[in-house]
Structure 1
Amino acid sequence: MRILTASFDELPARTAYDVWRLRQTVFVVEQECPYPDLDGRDLEPATRHLVLLEDDPDPRVIGTLRVLDDGDRARIGRVVVAAEARGRGLAARLMDEAMTLCGEREVRLDAQTGLAGFYEGFGFAVTGPEFDEDGIMHVPMARPAGRPPRP
């Protein structure tokens, strides 16, 4: 198992296809949340895609997230692990890599409410009221600048 970190232009075509298929499978189909996944931010030159690949026997995408550049801070989003790969700490592995990539910059994300505790383990704190995003409750969270990648 390995994590590929790449810009959009560096993603192999088949890997990119599998990333978007996984996001669609989980967010749109499994969570019954039709939303415009292809928002243009994947294409931004500073965006980094972290793709968790299982090489058994051929590379297979089992998790992914993206790190966006929002100027003076980073934003993590589209954190997803395939249903058959959950419960093995793989989302934490992706987040560890993302936090290392972000360094000591401020980092923000919008967490599904039930996952706020997971993100607190990476130094995030809730910064505002719960809100409904496409039928799923979320909370805004941030990790302040100057914090090490993992508390």
Structure 2
Amino acid sequence: MEKNLTYTIKTYTELNKDELYAILRLRAEVFVVEQDCPYQDVDNKDQKAVHILGYKNESLVAYTRIFKPGGYFENASIGRVVVAKKERQYGYGKELMQQSINEVIKLYGNLIIEISAQEYLRKFYNELGFVQQGEGYLEDNIPHIRMFRIAK
């Protein structure tokens, strides 16, 4: 694995224009273009989120946003989990999620974390302590599952 990423954690109001642009570009690059899924990524929820930006050589290559309980789901949540395609072979996805889990615990306490995961990533999230609950569903025409990580 390459060296760990450098993380920046900011609220929406702390983000500068270049950071916000890089976030939206990375999300569109993966979720809209790569996954061929036209959907409304800019959803008026970024303003309520804490943003976790993962940098490699000063370029944004990984990102999530986290929400306090009730900010998106009933429980604290992590969403828009994304790693640039050319960087996925280095294990940055797990590193990013662990950083996000740690930040949820730091900000909101050691509680249940809820995610809406793309179904093909079930094993990835299982390895991070998330367990599926309920049936699968389509979100933006992509199979998803609701998963929870119970506080340890």
TM-score, normalised to structure 1, is 0.89
User: Is 2:140 the counterpart of 1:134?
Assistant: yes
Q: How does 1:1-151 map to 2 (within 5 A)?
A: 1-44=5-48, 47-55=49-57, 59-71=58-70, 73-103=75-105, 104-144=110-150, 146-147=151-152
Instruction: Tell me by how many angstroms 1:73 deviates.
Output: 2.3
Instruction: Tell me by how many angstroms 1:15 deviates.
Output: 1.3
Please give the alpha-carbon distance, in whole angstroms, between the structure 2 residues aligned to 1:89 and 1:142: 22
Instruction: Tell me by how many angstroms 1:70 deviates.
Output: 2.9
SS in 2 for 1:75: strand
Task: Kindly indicate whether the alpha-carbon contact (under 8 Å) linking 1:41 and 1:68 is maintained by their aligned counterparts in 2.
Answer: no
- Give the counterpart letter for 2:93 in structure 1: A
Please give the alpha-carbon distance, in whole angstroms, between the structure 1 residues aligned to 2:67 and 2:38: 22
SS in 1 for 2:18: helix
List structure 1 segments (4+ residues) > 6 angstroms apart after TM superposition: none
Identity of aligned residues (%): 33
Aligned alpha-carbon RMSD (Å): 1.2
Instruction: Tell me by how many angstroms 1:26 deviates.
Output: 0.5
Task: Kindly indicate whether the alpha-carbon contact (under 8 Å) linking 1:109 and 1:141 is maintained by their aligned counterparts in 2.
Answer: yes
Instruction: Tell me by how many angstroms 1:87 deviates.
Output: 1.1
Instruction: Tell me by how many angstroms 1:125 deviates.
Output: 0.4
**Unaligned 5+ runs, structure 2:** none
Residues 4-62 of structure 1: per-residue CA shift (max 9 Å, x gap): 11101111221110110010011011101111111111001xx211111112xxx2110
- Give the counterpart letter for 1:13 in structure 2: K
